C-alpha cells in the first residue's frame, strides 16, 4: 500500500535547491493499516504527507503509494491515484469562492460522480460534521474549526483507499476531536489506510496506535 525506501526530499531545484528536508526515510504501511506520524514542529511531517499525497515527487529513493511506484509512474497515471487519496491539509486549503457544500462536493465532481449521488453523499457528510445549516457559507464565513470540519468532510466523502490527515484536530475542541478519531477508526476498520500527522503527543496518548516519529527530517522510531 505505502512503501518508502531511502526517500530524500528537498524543496526547489537546480541552484535554488534547499537543504534536504527528509533524509533516508524508509517504512511501509500495509493496506488497511494505521500510523501516527509524530514529531516536533518543522520536522518534516507535512512534507512527508505531501509526498504520500503525490503533491511532490521524491528527489531520490523509492516511493510506492497504492501499489504504484511513483518514481517511475507516468504523469498521466497520477490523477486516478490522487482520486483514491483523501487529504486533510494542515491549512485546510478550501476554495474560497465555493460554498462549504461545493467544497465537499469537489472530489466527487472531479471523479465524475452523478449529481444525485453527490447531493446525497455531501448532505450526509455535512450532517456528520454538523454543518448542514452552514452548507451555503463560504470558508471565510466559517470559524477555524468549522473550516477544518469542511476539510475533513472533503477528504472523507469520496471513501478514499488512503486517508492522510495533517493535524486534523488542530482547531477542534475535545469533543469534536474525539468524534473525528472515532470516524478515522471506523474508516480504518472498513479497510481505509490512515496516516495522521500531529505534534500533539497528548492526542496520541489518548488514542494509542502504531506511530512513526520524525525528527529533523530523519525517521527515528518506526513502530
Ligand X SMILES: Nc1ncnc2c1ncn2[C@@H]1O[C@H](COP(=O)(O)OP(=O)(O)OP(=O)(O)O)[C@@H](O)[C@H]1O
Query: Where along the sequence are the contacts to another protein (CB under 8 A)?
Result: 53-57, 75-76, 78-85, 87, 93, 95-99, 102, 105-107, 109-111, 136
- CA–CA dist 137, 107 (Å, integer): 18
Residue 44 or 107 with smaller CB distance to another protein: 107
- CA–CA dist 165, 220 (Å, integer): 21
CB-CB contact of 70 with 57 (8 Å): yes
Residue 191 binding target from ligand X, Mg ion, another protein, none, CB below 5 to 8 Å by type = none
CB of 106 to another protein, least distance (A): 6
Residue 51 or 177 with smaller CB distance to another protein: 51
Residue 68 or 90 with smaller CB distance to ligand X: 90
How far, in Å, are 16, 17, 24 from residue 149 at the CA level? 36, 35, 34
- CA–CA dist 181, 203 (Å, integer): 9
- 38 binds Mg ion per the rule CB under 5 A: no
- CA–CA dist 15, 191 (Å, integer): 43
Residue 96 binding target from Mg ion, another protein, ligand X, none, CB below 5 to 8 Å by type = another protein
Which stretches of the chain bind ligand X, using CB under 6 A? Answer: 11, 18, 21, 39, 41-47, 90, 199
Amino acid at each position: 500500500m505505502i512503501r518508502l525506501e531511502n526517500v530524500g526530499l528537498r524543496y526547489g531545484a537546480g541552484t535554488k535547491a534547499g537543504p534536504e528536508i527528509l533524509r533516508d526515510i524508509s517504512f511501509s504501511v500495509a493496506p488497511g493499516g494505521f500510523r501516527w506520524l509524530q514529531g516536533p514542529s518543522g520536522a518534516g511531517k507535512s512534507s512527508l504527507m505531501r509526498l504520500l499525497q503525490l503533491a511532490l515527487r521524491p528527489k531520490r529513493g523509492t516511493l510506492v503509494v497504492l501499489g504504484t511506484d511513483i518514481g517511475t509512474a507516468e504523469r498521466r497515471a497520477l490523477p486516478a491515484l490522487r482520486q483514491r487519496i483523501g487529504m486533510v491539509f494542515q491549512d485546510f486549503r478550501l476554495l474560497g469562492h465555493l460554498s462549504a457544500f461545493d467544497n465537499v462536493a469537489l472530489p466527487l465532481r472531479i471523479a465524475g460522480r452523478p449529481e444525485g449521488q453527490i447531493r446525497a453523499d455531501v448532505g450526509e457528510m455535512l450532517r456528520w460534521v454538523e454543518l448542514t445549516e452552514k452548507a451555503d457559507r463560504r470558508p471565510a464565513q466559517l470559524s477555524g474549526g468549522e473550516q477544518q470540519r469542511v476539510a475533513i468532510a472533503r477528504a472523507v466523502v469520496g471513501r478514499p483507499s488512503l486517508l492522510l490527515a495533517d493535524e486534523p484536530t488542530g482547531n477542534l475542541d475535545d469533543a469534536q476531536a474525539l468524534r473525528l478519531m472515532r470516524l478515522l477508526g471506523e474508516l480504518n476498520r472498513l479497510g481505509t489506510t490512515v496516516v495522521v500527522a500531529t505534534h500533539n503527543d497528548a492526542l496520541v496518548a489518548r488514542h494509542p496506535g502504531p506511530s512513526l516519529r520524525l525528527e529533523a527530517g530523519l525517521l527515528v522510531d518506526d513502530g
